[in-house]
Amino acid sequence: MIDVKINDGIAVMTLAHGKANALDLDFCDALTTRFAELRTSAAKAVVLTGQGKMFSAGVDLKRLNDGGADYIAKFLPALHRLYDAVFFFPKPVVAAINGHAIAGGAVLAACADRRIMARDGGRIGVTELLVGVPFPALAFEIVRFAVPPRYVAEFTLGAATYATDVALHKGWIDEVAEPGDLMTRALAAAQSLAALSPAAFAQTKKQIRQAVTERIAQSGQATDKAVTEIWTAPETLGFIRDYVAKTLKKS
């Protein structure tokens, strides 16, 4: 499910959960646990990547469809815990985006301090509204934090995905690397950030993210209550079911 190897003091975490690295309850909990372990480990930084042509396809809609409202009520808090663990991780995190990063997978990449994507390796974007679900509070704040303000509405309401060069131009990613150079560039970026004072880096990262912390404290609970009601509503479950059936038919 998750492979972690230490490369010259950098923890390389490779997602290996099925073909799509789709985020389900178990996968979210496992990733959260790994990041919790790495907080107190000797690793100086983390490089997060996937296998093959997929970084992460986002939320496992088939599990949502099969599990219904009861599963969703358990899943959304687990998704929040995952994003919280990665976004507020005190050490440097570099996303080596090897392939598609869609919906919740794009949000996971956006949690990183630096995002490097393999050229023509896949597409990136948040497609939640195509599925009929709104963004959980922290997921939305992470997107708002990570991308240029002028593109927030386009990215979220437009629900489009972008090829690497356009993603770089519009700020979804920080750098494009040739596929064979992706991990070399990601490790170099991680080492560069890890060379800084750990205490100074952690405090500065905390300050950079302070606005997110404050907004979540102020309105996150109310937002997530409204979001959960929409995600678990019968009409939303029907929308998800139709979307899953349509997507499976295309595949």
Cα 173 to the center of its chain, rounded Å = 12
And the tokens for 122? 């896949």
Q: Considering 37, 128, 175, 229, which one is annotated as catalytic?
A: 128
Does the annotation mark 175 as catalytic? no
Name the token pair of 106.
């794009």
CA 29 to CA 82: how far, in whole Å? 7
Beta strands across the sheet bearing 93-97: 2-7, 10-15, 45-49, 93-97, 114-118, 175-177
| Burial call 138-158: b when 16+ CB within 10 Å, e when fewer | bbbbbbbbbbeeeeeeebbee
Task: Give the residue numbers annotated as catalytic, written as ranges.
Answer: 128
